Structure 1
């Protein structure tokens, strides 16, 4: 990814943090001290920018997962817990609770989020299988675990339920991951 695209996407994250989906191309241009024309040379519209931002954020999550996988200090069940709850530090303060607004305004982008949530489970599945083999994780149905995780995240992102509960996304994610992982662990 070229440097200007990366800077624009990082600024989109910042502006989303401040204003939700109400940020404008003017906001991005002002923050970067560039012209809107430069942004429009890179992205044809806000939807394309948001679409690429989804990949940018999910790719960052995958990089975090790769570091977790390589960490020899973590047990298998600790790795499962950290991977399921993986959020890069620079996105932990992002208000994911407002993503439900994408469903109406940018349905293709919202669909892409769901698609990304449902894909790239290879590392997590391999870790759960390893935990079962090691005896640190009960013999659980991996498709059921995957469905529970995806359904819960989709509910978090598709409604204002977390806002109504006055809970931020990272708190909710952490509690859900704890329930899943401790429910899978064997009782030693």
Structure 2
């Protein structure tokens, strides 16, 4: 039983069958909603590969190994996986803890071989700060002033709901791509 304070993420690369993209996305969203009913589920989503429009990366994040394993071995998930037969083919599955997944070289998303270790945590922290500071500043300047009628908890929830996906899906992939040599040097 391995538990971590930072959670565990499973990333599944799937090649979608020709002409079945919308059906695949509905199936994936249903699976995400179903995962959300399980204890320890922290969130998830999907990304379409820029270089290959039939390749998708689906990410599920859980509090720890035990809660992820409870979901992956559940009868409900097995039924959901069965409903997706023929929609897509799993090509690679990764299981990562912490924020290391943001710093994995892009090639590990399509190849099972890991090409390098995650960078030192201090480099990860610097990279996250480089993205977080300007996004936080923009949110503080343009979003939170429009929410002044709300209490501080609600304003903070709104700010974090906006900031988190921007960081995870836009800023961190952009920064880690630009800082690759420094991060892995």
TM-score normalised to the size of structure 2? Answer: 0.24
Higher relative contact order (CA 8 A, sep 6+): 2
Question: Which structure carries more helix by proportion?
Answer: 1
TM-score normalised to the size of structure 1? Answer: 0.24
